[in-house]
Amino acid sequence: MTKAAALSERLAPLVRTMGYELLGCEYRTQGRFSVLRVYIDSEAGITLTDCSRVSEQLSAILDVEDPIRGRYSLEVSSPGVDRPLFEIAQYEKQIGKRLKIRTFAPIQNQRNFAGVLLRVEGSDICLLVGAEERTLPFSDIEKANVVADIGGK
């Protein structure tokens, strides 16, 4: 389990008790400094006030438990228009949408994929890339985002 996944699992119950859904976490190390980005959502959407409330609570728990060594910045964010996908169940809600996916390692000499999500089969993501259907194992996906449909195009 990655550090981001472990942090997401640990923080999700607290976020849930506040009335939000924790979509997932991203943890990036940049030299001696790191960033923990936490994505939250709710039926009513997310405001800056929501992000601030959740950030205060998460900061307190992270200060006490200290799961991250060294200096880091905590960012709490809405998923935005380019919604990141972290769990297989989140992909199932995006069938028919355009996705951008990056894999940990090349699959048939390719790491970046963009296409329409056709279906989820067990732990595989089926994507229409151009005229070709590509099947990507969920475990091979490093990062995935829904591509915003701005202006209906």
DSSP letters, 42-74, are -TT---HHHHHHHHHHHHHHHHHH--S-SEEEE
Q: Tens place of pLDDT for every residue, the chain, 153 residues?
A: 789 999 999 999 999 999 999 999 999 988 888 999 999 999 999 999 999 999 999 999 999 998 988 889 999 999 998 999 999 999 999 999 999 999 999 999 999 999 999 999 999 999 999 999 999 999 999 999 999 877 654
pTM of the model: 0.88
User: Do 29 and 94 share a domain, yes or no?
Assistant: no
User: Do 58 and 8 share a domain, yes or no?
Assistant: yes
Q: Within 13 Å and on the Cβ side, how many CA atoms surround 35?
A: 9
User: Is residue 29 within a helix (H) or strand (E), and if so which, with residue range?
Assistant: strand 21-30
Cβ pair 144, 100 in contact under 8 A: yes
> Which of 139, 108, 134 lies closest to 123 in space, CA to CA?
139
Among the three residues 77, 104, 138, which one is the final residue of a domain in this structure? Answer: 77
Q: How many residues does the chain have?
A: 153
Residue 61 covered by a domain: yes
Number of C-beta neighbours around residue 73 at 10 A:
11
User: Do 64 and 120 share a domain, yes or no?
Assistant: no
User: Do 7 and 73 share a domain, yes or no?
Assistant: yes
Q: Which CATH number is 113's domain given?
A: 2.30.30.180
> Which of 88, 20, 101 lies closest to 53 in space, CA to CA?
20
User: Do 72 and 112 share a domain, yes or no?
Assistant: no
Cβ pair 112, 105 in contact under 8 A: no
User: Do 27 and 63 share a domain, yes or no?
Assistant: yes
Among the three residues 77, 102, 127, which one is the final residue of a domain in this structure? Answer: 77
Residue 82 covered by a domain: no
User: Do 39 and 58 share a domain, yes or no?
Assistant: yes
Among the three residues 16, 47, 77, which one is the final residue of a domain in this structure? Answer: 77
Residue 83 covered by a domain: no
User: Do 70 and 122 share a domain, yes or no?
Assistant: no
Q: Which CATH number is 38's domain given?
A: 3.30.300.70
| Structural domain total, the chain | 2
Torsion of CA 7, 13, 15, 17, to 10 degrees: -170
Domain that holds residue 134: 88-152
Q: What is the DSSP letter of 84?
A: B
